[in-house]
Homo-oligomer: A and B are copies of this chain.
Amino acid sequence: MVTSRDVARLANVSQATVSRVLHNSPSVSEDIRLRVLSAFKETGYVANVHARAMRTRRTGIVGVVSGHIVSPWYFYPDLIDAIGTSLASAGQRMILWNTGDSSEPVAVDAIQSGAVDGVIFTTATSESEALKAAMVKGAPIVLTNRSIEGAACDQVTTDNVSGGRLVARHFLEGGHTKLAVVGGQGVISTMRQRRTGFLTGAADGGVTVPVRWDPPADYTYAAGMELGMQLLSGRDRPTAIFCINDLLAFGVLDAARRLKIAVPDDLWVAGYDDVEIASWPAFDLTTVRQPVSSLAQVAVEMLLRRIGNEKAGPFEHRQFSSELILRATTGAQPA
């Protein structure tokens, strides 16, 4: 391994000067500069990140915690992609933690051990002790997607309540009164809000969702399939189903397919997230799209501001609105 000392010896300068050239310090004469640069080339020198980080107390790496990075029917992949892009254009690198909520201790540890300069959480829950501890310490942290009320850090989210309400209004405008929801009764804030928005929107139109059409569900394709079969098998069944995320909607649609129930003629289905598969002809799903790149951009901005200036004023919570994307599952013309 070649160090700055090796380069210095080769270029016949002091080690300090090598460091200055590396950082484009203006106070280096042109000829020395060139000598050092050619020594860089000759040796293939790359500065040791640990030595640098130890001196500067800055690694240039941001940690990102996310569940289901690897499951593209969630919207996390899109969000992570966008965060990665924003970070890259700010010259920062990214470490990804993919173990779901259980990786929060890892993230906090990473901050405390100096492995990263700050962390963006996309899947924080109010239960995470580790996160709380980090926030109390005042470490640079930003929450996005899921929010925690009163958390001592910056947050950027979308308005999931309004998103759910958009779907309800669309169903009502389509003349539907027999409505069902799938998902949204668990602890995850975003999911709860979508469901609440939907129920509120329906209630505003004078429609109530029967309890048995609002069963608890986890957020998997299998759950969508199972609840879809259940909701659609009886004689008295809903004519429009709102699924709290696209993945559940795919399950419900496949259940309808299996039961030979025609969508959208006899059943409307809507999802949430607008993952890429939602637009495929096999599903062509009406869904709610969040402004993912805005979320990502603002999250990165917020974090970098804190990293650059630890005590930069009070914490902020910014919120974006979402957009209803109409497709074939609620009667729009197929693409």
A291 at the interface (CB under 8 A from B): no
* Minimum CB distance partner of A114 in chain B: B48
The count of identical subunits is 2
**Bound: A204/B54 CA distance, A:** 63
Q: Is there contact, CB below 8 Å, between B283 and A113?
A: no
Measured between beta carbons, the chain B residues less than 8 angstroms from A210 are: none
* Minimum CB distance partner of A46 in chain B: B112
Choose from B53, B77, B250 the contact partner of A280 (Cβ within 8 Å): B250
A254 at the interface (CB under 8 A from B): yes
A6 at the interface (CB under 8 A from B): no
Name the distance in Å between A48's Cβ and chain B's nearest Cβ: 5
A48, A250, A253 — most chain B CB neighbours (10 Å): A48
**Bound: A44/B133 CA distance, A:** 11
The stretch of A24-32, A66-74, A170-178, A315-323 that contacts the partner chain: A66-74
Q: Is there contact, CB below 8 Å, between B46 and A54?
A: no
Name the distance in Å between A185's Cβ and chain B's nearest Cβ: 24
Measured between beta carbons, the chain B residues less than 8 angstroms from A113 are: 46-49
Measured between beta carbons, the chain B residues less than 8 angstroms from A258 are: 281
A261 at the interface (CB under 8 A from B): no
Report the interface size class on chain A. 35 or more
Measured between beta carbons, the chain B residues less than 8 angstroms from A114 are: 1, 48-50
* Minimum CB distance partner of A275 in chain B: B72
Name the distance in Å between A248's Cβ and chain B's nearest Cβ: 13
Choose from B59, B69, B282 the contact partner of A283 (Cβ within 8 Å): B282
**Bound: A221/B275 CA distance, A:** 14
**Bound: A93/B80 CA distance, A:** 19
Interface set of A (CB-CB < 8 Å, partner B):
1, 44, 46-51, 53-54, 59, 69-73, 77-78, 80-81, 84, 88, 93, 95-96, 98-99, 106, 109, 112-115, 221, 225, 250, 253-254, 257-258, 276-277, 280-283
Listed A/B pairs (22) with beta-carbon separation below 8 Å: A44-B112, A46-B109, A47-B113, A49-B114, A49-B115, A50-B50, A50-B51, A50-B53, A70-B72, A70-B80, A70-B81, A71-B72, A71-B276, A73-B277, A84-B98, A88-B99, A95-B96, A96-B96, A221-B280, A254-B281, A257-B281, A282-B282
